Amino acid sequence: MTKSFEKQIQPQISGIQPYVPGKPISELQREFNLSRISKLASNENPLGASPKVLQAIRDQLVDIARYPDGSAYYLNLEMAKFLGREIDEVAFGNGSNELLELVARIFAAEGDEIVYSQYAFAIYGISAQIVGATGVEVPAKGWSHDLPAMLAAITPKTKIVYLANPNNPTGTLFTKEEWDVFISKVPSNVIVVLDEAYYEYVDNSEYANGLDYIDEYPNLLVSRTFSKAYGLASLRLGYMVGNKELISYINRLRAPFNVNHYAQIAAVAAIKDQNFVKKTIEFNRQGMAQFLAVFEKLKLDYIPSYGNFICVSFGDKTEEVNKALLEKGVIVRPMGGYDMAEYLRVSIGSSTENQHFINVVTSLMK
């Protein structure tokens, strides 16, 4: 590939590496001529989406030639009602990724600093690069956020702190006690973004729900998604909740019609079907138990997870195990890109998909 325009791009962009998603099912089928594939790489909902969501989309197919509602009014209304917030305290994005990046574009620039944890979601560091800010990666503690160290990393140059609870890819959690101390000491001019993409899966009395803190801390933004527990990953829909001023800045910068019509329709139906979410959570609990029992039996090290995925270590055999899994039609996520080369991240799938993974791993560990 020629590089005729390399000198013309902004210097901060040249160092950004393209995001590498999990291997698509179709690619693996072609590569190994397989008919059975278990994709456990992308933290998707093995139950799919609610039947009520699918019906709502079918009912609206006639409007496919129309532009969506640019303000997502009915979705905003339903979401505000569900969360107990006001309409202008919620913004929607083309996935939560868009919103996380928008925060950086709004509040940071060259010479500023953005703080995030080691082993945290890659978009935090990428967002800093995009705007030319300095990314300050704070070493993790036990695969989790070290909140006292992150607090100490804040300087007069710090504009944003990104945190994830639970964290992706490690699945770890920081407690309400830890969070209370942290958020109370962050300077009021520093924007704190709390990424709660997996909060629905958490069953822990020590968990801090970010929405409970928005009124007290105007510098807090809470990010969530419909891609996981709601099963709408292909429609790309995330949302961010915060005080009206911060949300207004996000709405100024987000692209017109950034949330498509079917994402809006699907999300309204999804919010109204909380029984499906409860079913998803229970299904995830059972799948996690299915994995943990095998990991314990095989004496495999793993990182306890509060999400819908888990990282398991195969030591110096990790690359070999991943290759064998692919050859047998099981797609998981290697963690080398996160400096966790000994780990594979495995999403909780259907019981059949989970067993497919277990059968291959068990045969390899003999």
Following DSSP, what letter does each residue of 293-333 receive, concatenated?
HHHHHHT--EE--SSSEEEEE-GGGHHHHHHHHHHTTEE-E
pLDDT at position 330, please? 95
pLDDT score, position 365: 86
Close Cβ partners of 107 (under 8 Å, ≥ 6 residues apart)? 159, 160, 191
Yes or no: domain 62-272 corresponds to CATH 3.40.47.10: no
pLDDT for position 28: 67
Sheet architecture: strand order including 343-347: 302-303, 309-313, 343-347, 333-334
Looking at domain 16-48+275-365, which of 2.70.70.10, 3.90.1150.10, 3.90.1170.50, 3.40.50.2300 is its CATH number? 3.90.1150.10
User: What is the model's pLDDT at position 2?
Assistant: 65
Q: What's the confidence (pLDDT) of residue 11?
A: 73
C-alpha to C-alpha distance for 236 and 174, rounded to whole angstroms? 27
Q: What is the pLDDT of residue 37?
A: 87
Q: What are residue 221's DSSP bridge partners?
A: 193, 242
Report which of 110, 96, 195, 107 is spatially closest to residue 145, judged by C-alpha positions: 195
Cα dist from 280 to 36, 285, 313, whole Å: 23, 9, 26
Domains of the chain, by residue range, sit at: 16-48+275-365, 62-272
Residue of 339, 357, 361, 341 whose CA lies nearest to 349: 357
Residue 12 is predicted with a pLDDT of 72
What is the sign, positive or negative, of the torsion defined by CA atoms of 162, 166, 168, 169?
positive
Rg (CA), the chain: 21
Q: Which residues contact 167 (CB under 8 A, 6 or more apart)?
A: 117, 119, 120, 121, 144, 145, 173
Q: How far apart are CA 316 and CA 342, in angstroms?
A: 6
Spatial CA neighbour of 266 closest among 64, 45, 59, 44:
59
pLDDT in tens, the chain (366 residues): 567 667 766 777 766 666 666 667 677 667 766 768 899 999 999 999 999 999 999 999 999 999 999 999 999 999 999 999 999 999 999 999 999 999 999 999 999 999 999 999 999 999 999 999 999 999 999 999 999 999 999 999 999 999 999 999 999 999 999 999 999 999 999 999 999 999 999 999 999 999 999 999 999 999 999 999 999 999 999 999 999 999 999 999 999 999 999 999 999 999 999 999 999 999 999 999 999 999 999 999 999 999 999 999 999 999 999 999 999 999 999 999 999 999 999 999 999 999 999 999 999 987
pTM, entire model:
0.92
- Give CA–CA dist 147/13, Å, rounded: 29
Closest by CA position to 209, among listed 160, 144, 165, 273: 165
